[in-house]
Amino acid sequence: MKSGLPNLPVPSQRQSPHTIPELAHGWLSRLRSYFILDPLIWLYTLVMGLLAIPGGMFDRSGRRLHWFSYAWSWLIMKTIASPVRVTGLDEIDTSKPHVYAVNHASALDIPVLYVNLPFQFRIAFKKELLSYPVVGWQLKRSGQVCIDQQNPAHSISSIRAALKGLKAGLPLVIFPEGGRTPDGEIKPFLAGAFFLAIKAQVDIVPVALVGTYELLPMNTFHIKCRPLEMRVGEPISTAGLTMKDLESLSVRVQKAIEDLYYRA
């Protein structure tokens, strides 16, 4: 018996074209990761984190601490031997305070950004990261923007500071998915992530990090060294937008990042 409904095609899930077939990661890769790369990264985190304590003691602006984060990230990127090809950033006026919206696939997204964004910026992060030794201390002391997703009211002071920074010319990096993707596919964006961009009336720059999921996905310490890409898209204006436009703005930014990410 026919239902009378048209036979609609079932959309196939887009697969990220980022796997490198000829790049094998067998037991030798695991041994290198578990016994060389991971211990070195933990060492860098501990040493740089401890050095940053006295180094940033009188750094109220967070600019000196940004340098420590850059140095930590540079050491990591050199160690994991995963070169990053950057495209589109030369088309952006980086002297202006944009909000950079980035897909989030790996714990190594942060080092990639610190090494390849050539300016001071702050990052919006989840409150849960404050529980990590050294990392949490650095995030709190360096003026990053702490977001409590369970109780947004607790984030008011951080949001006010970020808004003040944007208006003063300090760019902000956000991860609109609200966390790392578990499967390499871009997840729905949280519309509220663009609240600050609208309040400050600054452009949003879509950024797609390509290959970081394959490099180090969730729930593993196996770093699979490989080439990466950071694809930067055209700025999306928020001029004249209000809070009523959050949803439509979120959809527009997500489409821009997906177009960059899934591009072959």
Q: Quick: pLDDT tens for 207-231.
A: 999 999 999 999 999 999 999 999 9
Residue (of 145, 93, 139, 137) closest to 118 by Cα position:
93
Q: Report residue 138's pLDDT band, with 50, 70 and 90 as the boundaries.
A: confident
Q: CA 3, 4, 10: angle at the middle one, nearest 5?
A: 80
Per-residue pLDDT tens over the stretch 185-194: 999 999 989 9
Better pLDDT: 5 or 93: 93
Continuous H helices in the chain: 27-32, 38-55, 63-80, 109-116, 135-141, 156-167, 195-200, 212-215, 246-261
Confidence tier at 8 by pLDDT (50, 70, 90): very low
Global pTM?
Answer: 0.88
Report, as an integer, the average pLDDT of 107-122.
96
Q: Please, which pLDDT band fits residue 26 given cuts at 50, 70 and 90?
A: confident
Please provide the size of the chain in residues.
264
Q: What pLDDT sits at residue 14?
A: 52
Query: Which whole number is the average pLDDT over 82-103?
Result: 97
Percent of the chain with pLDDT over 70: 88
Model confidence at 35: pLDDT above 70: yes
Q: How far apart are CA 262 and CA 180, in angstroms?
A: 17
Determine contact, residues 134/45, Cβ cutoff 8 Å: yes
**Contact between 226 and 209 (Cβ < 8 Å):** no
Query: Coil, helix or strand for 124?
Result: strand
- Whether 55 shows a pLDDT value over 90: the answer reads no
Mean pLDDT value of segment 5-14:
45
Report the range of poorest mean pLDDT among 133-142, 159-168, 187-196, 232-241: 133-142
The residues, ordered by sequence, that sit 6+ positions from 119 with a Cβ below 8 Å of its Cβ are 94, 171
* Beta strand 204-210 pairing with 228-232: antiparallel
Which sign does the torsion angle of CA 232, 214, 129, 113 carry? negative
First-last CA distance in the chain: 43
202 by Cβ neighbours in 10 Å (0-12 / 13-18 / 19+) ranks as buried
Average pLDDT over residues 248-259: 98
pLDDT > 90? residue 97: yes
Cα within 13 Å of Cα(192), Cβ side: 8
Of the CA atoms within 13 Å of residue 194, those in its CB half-sphere come to: 31
Under DSSP, the state recorded for 52 is: H
Is the pLDDT at 204 greater than 90? The verdict is yes
